[in-house]
Amino acid sequence: MKSIVGLLALAVGCGAAVKTVQLVVSGDDRTIRKRPPNIRPSSPGSTQIMFVAFDGVSRDQLYDLLRAGKLPNLRELLGGDNLAHAYLDDTFLSNLPSTTMPAWVSAQSGHGAAEHGVPGNEYFIRERLEFACPAPVSFNDAQPTLEIYTDDYLNKLVAVPSVYEQIHEHDPEALIWVGMNHFFRGTDKLVLASRIVIVKAIEGFVEKQLEKLAGDTSRRVYEDLDKAAIDAIASRLDDKVAIPDVITLYVSGADLYAHIAKEG
C-alpha cells in the first residue's frame, strides 16, 4: 500500500493530477457504447469468447508450462480434458519491435501498423505535425497514458475498426467487455481497477520505484496487479446481469516485472 501511495504522489507531482482525479472519481467502469434500443441484453445464440491477453509472456514457455500441467487453473479455463478443447496457435506474429501499443492494436484490429497507424509507443504524425505518445518512453509524464482511459487517447489514434466494432457491425446485440486494455473502441464496457490503471499509466515511475525493492517484494506487487485485474472482471460476472459474449482481459504483470527483474 505504501508503494501505491508513493506512486500516486508521483503522478500528481508530474502534472497529471487532474486526470488522476478524473479517473478515480469516474469509478471502475466506463460505458463505451450506448446499446441500441429494443435489443436483448446480450446475444445468447453467439459463441462466447474470452480473450486473455498476457503481455510480456513467452509463447513457447507458456505452452510448455500448460502441456506439462504446471498451470492447472489456466488449463481448466481452457476446457480441461488435457487441453483437448484448446487451440494453441503457433503462427501468430507480433510486430517488430514488439512494443506494447502497436502490438495490441494489431491483435485487436487484424491490421498491421502501416494500416492502423500506431507504429510505436511514441511516434510523429507528419501530416498533423503531432507527436503521439500513448506510452511515453523518452520523457516522464503520466498524463498521455492516463488519457487512454479518461479521454480515449489511443482509440482516437487508431485508423481502422477494432475487432469489437467489426463484431457489432454483424451482431449489434453482442455484449462486449474489455478489462484494462489500452484499445477498447467499440466495446460496451471498459472495466478498470483504479489503482492498477494509475500504476500502469506511470510505468516509468513504477520501474524507478521498484528498482529500490528486493526481488520478492517487487514481484509480489505485480502479482497483486494481475490479481486485481482478474478480480475486476470476475466480480462483475453475476447471475443478475447478462454474461458478456466477448471478454478481453489484459494481464500486464509479466511485462511490467520484466522491465525491472534481474533476469530481464
Structural domains in the chain (count): 1
Check residue 219 and give its pLDDT: 75
**Closest Cα partner for 87 from 110, 102, 112, 66?**
66
**Closest Cα partner for 11 from 172, 187, 141, 200?**
141
Check residue 194 and give its pLDDT: 57
The yes-or-no verdict on residue 9 having pLDDT over 50 is no
pTM for the whole structure: 0.84
Across the range 46-56, mean pLDDT stands at: 91
- Tens-place pLDDT, residues 196-221: 445 554 554 445 444 555 445 567 77
The yes-or-no verdict on residue 41 having pLDDT over 50 is yes
Lowest mean pLDDT among 24-33, 185-194, 248-257: 24-33
Query: Residue 137 belongs to a domain with what CATH number?
Result: 3.40.720
Contact 187, 164 (CB under 8 A): yes
Check residue 7 and give its pLDDT: 30
Lowest mean pLDDT among 50-54, 188-192, 258-262: 258-262
Structural domain that includes position 164: 2-260
CA distances from 150 to 122, 132, 238, 253 (A): 19, 16, 26, 22
Check residue 207 and give its pLDDT: 54
Check residue 216 and give its pLDDT: 52
Lowest mean pLDDT among 68-77, 168-177, 250-259: 250-259
Check residue 40 and give its pLDDT: 94
- Tens-place pLDDT, residues 89-148: 889 888 888 899 999 999 999 999 999 999 999 999 999 999 999 988 888 777 888 899
Question: Nine-digit cell at 205?
Answer: 515511475
Higher pLDDT, 15 or 125: 125
Check residue 21 and give its pLDDT: 47
Higher pLDDT, 224 or 21: 224
Average pLDDT over the chain, rounded to an integer = 81
C-alpha dihedral (220, 224, 229, 232), degrees to nearest 10: 170
Confidence band (pLDDT; 50, 70, 90) for 253? confident
Lowest mean pLDDT among 3-7, 14-18, 38-42, 109-113: 3-7
Check residue 140 and give its pLDDT: 74
Share of the chain above pLDDT 90, in %: 50
Higher pLDDT, 14 or 158: 158
Q: How many residues does the chain have?
A: 264
